[in-house]
C-alpha cells in the first residue's frame, strides 16, 4: 500500500510522517525504514527505525530510488514500512507525469513485497493527478 502526505511547505507533512514512523515502530513487528534528503530527522525518528540520508548514497532520480528501495528490501525481507520524506526534492524531478509512473511501480512493489510505503510531497493538492489523489491521506 502506498500513502501520500501532500501539502504546501509548512503544512505539517514532516511532523505527520514522523508521527507515523513512531506509530509503526511501536505497533509493528517488522523493520521500519525512513529515507530523507538530508540529516534533519536524526533526533525525531526513534532509534529502532533505520534512518537513511539519501544524499550519502547519491539518490537523486526516480531510477536510483527504485534501485535503492528494491535493494533495501532484497537485503532485509523483514521491512514492513518505508517512509520517504521530502520526496520531490529527493528525486529532483517535479513533473507529475513522472511521479505518476513512479507511483505505478511503487504500487506494484508494495503489493508484491507486502510493504507499506508513505511519502511526503511538497506541492499543492489541487495540482494532484487522479493517480496521486487515490493515495492521499
* pLDDT tens figures, 61-91: 999 999 999 999 999 999 999 999 999 999 9
Question: CA nearest 84: which of 99, 108, 65, 71?
Answer: 65
Q: How confident is the model at residue 94 (pLDDT cuts 50, 70, 90)?
A: confident
Tell me the longest C-alpha to C-alpha distance in the chain: 38
Q: How confident is the model at residue 15 (pLDDT cuts 50, 70, 90)?
A: very high
Question: CA nearest 16: which of 30, 6, 27, 31?
Answer: 6
Domain residues of the chain, as ranges?
Answer: 2-133
- pTM here is 0.94
CA distance linking residue 52 with residue 55, whole number of Å:
9
CATH architecture for segment(s) 2-133: 3-Layer(aba) Sandwich (3.40)
Amino acid at each position: 500500500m502506498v500513502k501520500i502526505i501532500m501539502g504546501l511547505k509548512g503544512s505539517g507533512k514532516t511532523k505527520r510522517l514522523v508521527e507515523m514512523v513512531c506509530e509503526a515502530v511501536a505497533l509493528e513487528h517488522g523493520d521500519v525504514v525512513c529515507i530523507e534528503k538530508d540529516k534533519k530527522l536524526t533526533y525525531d525518528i526513534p532509534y529502532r527505525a533505520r534512518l537513511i540520508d539519501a544524499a550519502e548514497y547519491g539518490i537523486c532520480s526516480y531510477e536510483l530510488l527504485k534501485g535503492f528501495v528494491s535493494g533495501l528490501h532484497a537485503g532485509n525481507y523483514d521491512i514492513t514500512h518505508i517512509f520517504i520524506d521530502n520526496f520531490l526534492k529527493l528525486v529532483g524531478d517535479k513533473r507529475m507525469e513522472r511521479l505518476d509512473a513512479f507511483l505505478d511501480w511503487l504500487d506494484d512493489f508494495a503489493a508484491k513485497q507486502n510493504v507499506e510505503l508513505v511519502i511526503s510531497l511538497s506541492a499543492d493538492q489541487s495540482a494532484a493527478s487522479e493517480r496521486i489523489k487515490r493515495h492521499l491521506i
